[in-house]
A and B are shown apart, each in its own frame.
Chain A
Amino acid sequence: EPEVTQTPSHQVTQMGQEVILRCVPISNHLYFYWYRQILGQKVEFLVSFYNNEISEKSEIFDDQFSVERPDGSNFTLKIRSTKLEDSAMYFCASSATGATDTQYFGPGTRLTVL
Protein backbone atom coordinates (compact mmCIF):
# COMPACT_ATOMS: atom_id res chain seq x y z
CA GLU A 1 0.00 0.00 0.00
CA PRO A 2 1.40 3.43 -0.91
CA GLU A 3 2.51 5.53 2.02
CA VAL A 4 3.94 8.91 2.86
CA THR A 5 7.52 8.79 4.06
CA GLN A 6 9.48 11.38 6.02
CA THR A 7 13.15 11.85 6.76
CA PRO A 8 14.84 12.13 9.14
CA SER A 9 12.81 10.54 11.91
CA HIS A 10 14.61 12.69 14.48
CA GLN A 11 16.54 15.91 13.91
CA VAL A 12 18.51 17.69 16.61
CA THR A 13 19.76 21.19 15.88
CA GLN A 14 21.12 24.26 17.57
CA MET A 15 19.00 27.39 17.90
CA GLY A 16 19.49 29.68 14.92
CA GLN A 17 20.40 26.88 12.53
CA GLU A 18 18.50 26.06 9.36
CA VAL A 19 16.77 22.71 9.04
CA ILE A 20 15.08 20.99 6.12
CA LEU A 21 12.50 18.32 6.76
CA ARG A 22 11.81 16.01 3.86
CA CYS A 23 8.69 14.20 2.78
CA VAL A 24 7.83 11.93 -0.11
CA PRO A 25 4.05 12.10 -0.67
CA ILE A 26 2.04 9.35 -2.33
CA SER A 27 2.97 9.46 -5.99
CA ASN A 28 -0.35 10.37 -7.64
CA HIS A 29 -1.43 12.87 -4.99
CA LEU A 30 -1.71 16.55 -5.83
CA TYR A 31 -2.28 18.24 -2.45
CA PHE A 32 0.39 18.43 0.21
CA TYR A 33 0.36 19.59 3.82
CA TRP A 34 2.56 20.16 6.82
CA TYR A 35 1.27 19.93 10.38
CA ARG A 36 3.09 20.03 13.66
CA GLN A 37 2.46 18.87 17.20
CA ILE A 38 4.25 20.41 20.13
CA LEU A 39 4.54 17.89 22.95
CA GLY A 40 1.29 17.67 24.87
CA GLN A 41 -0.58 19.98 22.51
CA LYS A 42 -2.86 19.69 19.52
CA VAL A 43 -1.81 18.80 15.99
CA GLU A 44 -1.75 22.19 14.22
CA PHE A 45 -2.00 23.00 10.54
CA LEU A 46 0.98 24.84 9.08
CA VAL A 47 0.56 25.02 5.33
CA SER A 48 -1.12 23.47 2.32
CA PHE A 49 0.41 23.31 -1.15
CA TYR A 50 -1.08 22.67 -4.57
CA ASN A 51 0.04 23.23 -8.13
CA ASN A 52 3.45 24.42 -6.97
CA GLU A 53 2.20 27.15 -4.72
CA ILE A 54 0.93 27.65 -1.20
CA SER A 55 -2.87 27.34 -0.96
CA GLU A 56 -3.17 28.39 2.65
CA LYS A 57 -0.90 28.99 5.61
CA SER A 58 -1.53 29.43 9.30
CA GLU A 59 -0.32 32.21 11.58
CA ILE A 60 2.46 29.89 12.73
CA PHE A 61 3.89 29.76 9.20
CA ASP A 62 5.82 33.01 9.28
CA ASP A 63 8.77 34.19 7.19
CA GLN A 64 11.06 31.68 8.89
CA PHE A 65 9.20 28.85 7.18
CA SER A 66 9.13 27.88 3.53
CA VAL A 67 8.00 24.89 1.51
CA GLU A 68 9.16 23.57 -1.79
CA ARG A 69 8.54 20.74 -4.17
CA PRO A 70 11.99 20.61 -5.74
CA ASP A 71 11.28 17.65 -8.00
CA GLY A 72 8.43 15.33 -8.85
CA SER A 73 8.62 13.35 -5.64
CA ASN A 74 9.87 15.38 -2.67
CA PHE A 75 8.09 18.00 -0.58
CA THR A 76 10.23 19.90 1.89
CA LEU A 77 9.71 22.19 4.86
CA LYS A 78 12.55 24.57 5.64
CA ILE A 79 12.92 26.48 8.87
CA ARG A 80 15.44 29.21 8.25
CA SER A 81 16.55 30.06 11.77
CA THR A 82 15.21 27.65 14.35
CA LYS A 83 13.92 28.74 17.73
CA LEU A 84 13.46 26.69 20.88
CA GLU A 85 9.70 26.84 20.41
CA ASP A 86 10.02 25.13 17.01
CA SER A 87 10.72 21.86 18.84
CA ALA A 88 7.85 19.60 17.84
CA MET A 89 6.78 16.60 15.79
CA TYR A 90 6.29 17.65 12.16
CA PHE A 91 3.88 15.64 10.03
CA CYS A 92 3.64 15.69 6.27
CA ALA A 93 0.39 14.66 4.59
CA SER A 94 -0.93 14.30 1.06
CA SER A 95 -4.29 13.81 -0.58
CA ALA A 96 -5.39 13.02 -4.08
CA THR A 97 -8.05 15.66 -4.65
CA GLY A 98 -8.03 18.08 -1.72
CA ALA A 99 -11.34 19.30 -0.24
CA THR A 100 -12.56 16.59 2.19
CA ASP A 101 -10.56 13.81 0.58
CA THR A 102 -8.60 11.63 2.98
CA GLN A 103 -5.24 13.03 3.98
CA TYR A 104 -2.53 10.39 4.35
CA PHE A 105 0.09 11.17 6.96
CA GLY A 106 3.73 10.28 7.27
CA PRO A 107 5.25 8.99 10.52
CA GLY A 108 6.61 12.42 11.41
CA THR A 109 9.96 14.03 12.10
CA ARG A 110 10.75 14.91 15.69
CA LEU A 111 12.65 18.20 15.69
CA THR A 112 14.57 19.12 18.82
CA VAL A 113 16.06 22.61 19.01
CA LEU A 114 18.72 23.09 21.68
Chain B
Amino acid sequence: GNSVTQMEGPVTLSEEAFLTINCTYTATGYPSLFWYVQYPGEGLQLLLKATKADDKGSNKGFEATYRKETTSFHLEKGSVQVSDSAVYFCALIQNPGANSKLTFGKGITLSVRP
Protein backbone atom coordinates (compact mmCIF):
# COMPACT_ATOMS: atom_id res chain seq x y z
CA GLY B 1 0.00 0.00 0.00
CA ASN B 2 0.90 3.65 -0.01
CA SER B 3 3.09 5.07 2.72
CA VAL B 4 4.96 8.23 3.64
CA THR B 5 8.06 8.30 5.80
CA GLN B 6 9.31 11.42 7.51
CA MET B 7 12.54 11.96 9.36
CA GLU B 8 12.39 11.61 13.11
CA GLY B 9 11.91 14.70 15.19
CA PRO B 10 11.62 17.01 16.94
CA VAL B 11 13.81 19.59 15.23
CA THR B 12 15.04 22.70 17.02
CA LEU B 13 16.70 25.49 15.08
CA SER B 14 17.83 29.03 15.70
CA GLU B 15 16.12 31.83 13.82
CA GLU B 16 17.51 32.35 10.28
CA ALA B 17 18.89 28.81 10.11
CA PHE B 18 18.39 26.64 7.04
CA LEU B 19 15.68 24.00 7.28
CA THR B 20 15.42 20.63 5.60
CA ILE B 21 12.73 18.11 6.54
CA ASN B 22 13.04 14.81 4.71
CA CYS B 23 10.08 12.96 3.24
CA THR B 24 10.05 9.81 1.13
CA TYR B 25 7.09 7.90 -0.19
CA THR B 26 5.98 4.54 -1.50
CA ALA B 27 3.09 4.48 -3.94
CA THR B 28 1.96 2.89 -7.16
CA GLY B 29 1.39 5.10 -10.14
CA TYR B 30 2.09 8.80 -9.89
CA PRO B 31 0.92 10.28 -6.61
CA SER B 32 0.37 13.94 -5.88
CA LEU B 33 2.47 15.14 -2.96
CA PHE B 34 1.67 17.63 -0.23
CA TRP B 35 3.10 19.36 2.79
CA TYR B 36 0.63 20.34 5.50
CA VAL B 37 1.46 22.46 8.55
CA GLN B 38 -0.31 22.55 11.89
CA TYR B 39 0.22 25.61 14.09
CA PRO B 40 -0.55 25.26 17.80
CA GLY B 41 -4.28 24.98 18.43
CA GLU B 42 -5.20 24.99 14.74
CA GLY B 43 -6.12 22.49 12.05
CA LEU B 44 -3.87 21.23 9.29
CA GLN B 45 -3.25 23.79 6.56
CA LEU B 46 -1.92 23.08 3.10
CA LEU B 47 1.56 24.57 2.81
CA LEU B 48 2.42 23.47 -0.73
CA LYS B 49 1.87 20.71 -3.23
CA ALA B 50 3.24 19.16 -6.42
CA THR B 51 1.31 16.95 -8.77
CA LYS B 52 3.94 15.57 -11.13
CA ALA B 53 7.61 14.68 -11.27
CA ASP B 54 10.07 17.61 -11.16
CA ASP B 55 7.35 20.04 -10.09
CA LYS B 56 8.38 22.43 -7.34
CA GLY B 57 5.80 23.57 -4.84
CA SER B 58 6.49 26.79 -2.96
CA ASN B 59 4.77 28.98 -0.40
CA LYS B 60 5.84 31.37 2.39
CA GLY B 61 9.52 30.78 1.59
CA PHE B 62 9.17 27.00 1.78
CA GLU B 63 9.96 24.81 -1.21
CA ALA B 64 9.76 21.13 -2.08
CA THR B 65 10.58 19.37 -5.35
CA TYR B 66 8.86 16.17 -6.49
CA ARG B 67 11.73 13.73 -7.15
CA LYS B 68 10.39 10.59 -8.77
CA GLU B 69 13.82 8.96 -9.10
CA THR B 70 14.39 9.10 -5.34
CA THR B 71 10.67 9.03 -4.38
CA SER B 72 11.22 12.08 -2.23
CA PHE B 73 9.60 15.43 -1.48
CA HIS B 74 11.92 17.14 0.98
CA LEU B 75 10.81 20.44 2.49
CA GLU B 76 13.32 23.30 2.62
CA LYS B 77 13.45 26.90 3.78
CA GLY B 78 16.46 29.13 3.58
CA SER B 79 15.87 31.15 6.74
CA VAL B 80 13.37 30.03 9.36
CA GLN B 81 11.48 32.36 11.68
CA VAL B 82 10.06 31.85 15.14
CA SER B 83 6.60 31.93 13.55
CA ASP B 84 7.46 28.77 11.56
CA SER B 85 7.32 26.74 14.77
CA ALA B 86 4.68 24.09 14.05
CA VAL B 87 4.14 20.46 13.15
CA TYR B 88 4.83 19.59 9.50
CA PHE B 89 3.18 16.66 7.73
CA CYS B 90 4.14 15.17 4.39
CA ALA B 91 1.27 13.44 2.55
CA LEU B 92 0.25 11.93 -0.76
CA ILE B 93 -2.87 11.22 -2.79
CA GLN B 94 -2.77 8.23 -5.08
CA ASN B 95 -3.16 8.97 -8.76
CA PRO B 96 -4.90 8.29 -11.05
CA GLY B 97 -8.48 7.67 -10.04
CA ALA B 98 -11.17 9.19 -7.91
CA ASN B 99 -9.58 8.00 -4.67
CA SER B 100 -8.76 11.24 -2.92
CA LYS B 101 -7.76 10.13 0.54
CA LEU B 102 -4.58 11.62 1.96
CA THR B 103 -1.93 9.27 3.28
CA PHE B 104 0.16 11.09 5.89
CA GLY B 105 3.58 10.76 7.37
CA LYS B 106 3.97 10.88 11.13
CA GLY B 107 4.66 14.60 11.25
CA ILE B 108 7.62 16.40 12.69
CA THR B 109 7.65 19.19 15.26
CA LEU B 110 9.79 22.20 14.41
CA SER B 111 10.76 24.65 17.13
CA VAL B 112 12.57 27.84 16.16
CA ARG B 113 14.22 29.79 18.92
CA PRO B 114 15.00 33.53 18.72
Contacts and interface: CB of A to CB of B under 8 A. Distances in A.
Contacts of B32: 100
Contacts, number: 60
Contacts of A98: 98, 100
A95 B107 contact: no
B98 A107 contact: no
A102 B46 contact: yes
Interface residues of A, number: 28
Given A45-B101, A98-B98, A102-B46, A107 B41 contact: yes
Interface string B91-114: 101010011111111110000000
B43 interface: yes
B101 A56 contact: yes
- Give the bracket for the number of chain B residues in contact with chain A: 20 to 34
A105 B98 contact: no
Closest 8 CB pairs of A and B: A105-B43, A43-B104, A105-B44, A100-B32, A45-B101, A107-B43, A98-B100, A106-B43
Interface of A: 4, 6, 31, 33, 35, 41-45, 48, 55-56, 58, 91, 93, 95, 98-108
24 contacts: A33-B102, A41-B106, A42-B106, A43-B44, A43-B91, A43-B104, A45-B102, A45-B103, A48-B100, A55-B100, A56-B99, A91-B43, A98-B100, A99-B98, A100-B32, A100-B49, A100-B100, A102-B46, A102-B49, A103-B100, A103-B102, A105-B43, A107-B43, A108-B43
